[in-house]
């Protein structure tokens, strides 16, 4: 089990000055928290964030001239151990699923109480992820499927990846066969192989996996 560090360094990326300042001031009052820095966007602050080496980065989902989720993916590549918490002005299931499938540790509403945000930060530091209670079970199941199997995606053949993409585009078995010029039996065999390689046990899980991978 992971152990909390004596000091949790937090970096805040928020383009609204008032929100950024309020978050910084509120979290600075929490014992064992240190504000490692704050900025209005990620793209122009990559070197600053890298130098600060924060444990957690809180990012607004919609930044000025920048998509918070997409920018966070770049940041995650530079700092693989960084925990990213996405904040949104309103809770949206699709955005939440996309953020978590893209590597964020949590997706929370900006209206969340500071005490709950602090609890979420502690949780992601120990358990890596924090799933907001607003996420319905079927969406959460898809995210969990994705997180467990995404590393196995590279094991798929080129043909299997093509079929997975067509599943995400809601093609039926018959339509996939026609599109690729193969038999329906061959498509079904490929689907079985994909499920075996990804550790997915049923076709519903396969469809969910294909859908969430398409959003990344």
pLDDT tens digits along 99-127: 888 889 988 888 878 877 888 888 888 77
pLDDT tens digits, residue range 138-169? Answer: 444 444 444 444 456 667 888 998 898 888 77
CA distance 49 to 43: 10
Residue spans per domain, the chain: 8-134, 144-215
CA distance 110 to 14: 11
Rg (C-alpha) for the chain, rounded Å, is: 20
pTM: 0.61
144-215 is classed in which CATH architecture? Orthogonal Bundle (1.10)
Q: Which homologous superfamily does the CATH classification assign to the domain defined by 8-134?
A: Response regulator (3.40.50.2300)
> How many other C-beta atoms can be found within 10 angstroms of the C-beta atom of residue 178?
13
User: Average pLDDT by consecutive 10-residue portion of the chain (216 residues)?
Assistant: 71 93 90 91 91 95 88 90 90 79 87 81 80 50 46 76 85 92 94 85 75 53
């Amino acid at each position: 089990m992971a152990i909390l560090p004596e000091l949790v360094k937090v970096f805040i990326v928020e383009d609204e000055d008032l929100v950024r300042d309020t978050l910084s001031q509120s979290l600075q009052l929490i014992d064992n928290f240190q504000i490692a820095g704050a900025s209005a966007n990620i793209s122009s602050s990559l070197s600053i964030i890298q130098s600060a080496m924060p444990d957690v980065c809180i990012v607004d989902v919609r930044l000025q001239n920048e998509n918070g989720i997409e920018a966070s993916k770049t940041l995650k590549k530079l700092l693989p151990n960084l925990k990213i918490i996405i904040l949104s002005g309103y809770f949206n299931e699709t955005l939440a699923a996309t953020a978590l499938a893209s590597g964020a540790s949590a997706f929370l509403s900006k209206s969340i109480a500071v005490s709950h945000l602090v609890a979420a930060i502690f949780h992601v530091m120990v358990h890596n992820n924090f799933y907001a209670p607003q996420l319905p079970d079927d969406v959460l199941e898809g995210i969990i499927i994705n997180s467990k199997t995404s590393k196995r995606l590279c094991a798929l053949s080129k043909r299997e990846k093509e079929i997975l993409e067509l599943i995400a585009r809601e093609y039926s078995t018959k339509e996939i066969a026609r599109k690729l010029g193969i038999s329906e039996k061959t498509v079904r065999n490929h689907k079985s192989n994909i499920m075996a390689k990804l550790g997915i046990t049923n076709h519903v899980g396969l469809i969910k996996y294909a859908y969430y991978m398409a959003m990344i």
